[in-house]
Amino acid sequence: MLSMTEEEARTIMHAHGWFYKERRPKRVARYVYAQRRQGLRMIERYICPLSRLGDLTEDELVGKLTTGPAENP
């Protein structure tokens, strides 16, 4: 995959049990996060700036979804 689109990222995230979320802090830039529910909490993982989403490969995205900070059960 040469250039990942937002729709492709949404599809990959959904296949791994995550939801696509965009944040725009201070209305300067947009950032992509993955979000899912764990019990009563919502867990978020930072993916990349939206402007760099096209540079991200499917393997890199899946790696960011499967690895991350230790989650308490």
Where does the chain have alpha helices with state H? 6-15, 58-66
CA distance 35 to 47: 10
* 72 occurs within a structural domain: no
* 27 occurs within a structural domain: yes
Residue with the two structure tokens 């790696």: 63
Q: Looking at the whole model, is its pTM more than 0.85?
A: no
* 31 occurs within a structural domain: yes
How many folded domains does the chain comprise? 1
Distance of CA 21 to the CA centre of its chain: 7
* 10 occurs within a structural domain: yes
* 62 occurs within a structural domain: yes
Q: pLDDT digit of tens for each residue in the chain (73 aa)? A: 467 899 999 999 999 999 999 999 888 899 999 999 999 999 999 999 999 999 999 999 999 998 765 554 4
Which domain does 12 fall in, by range?
6-66
* 73 occurs within a structural domain: no
CA distance 37 to 35: 7
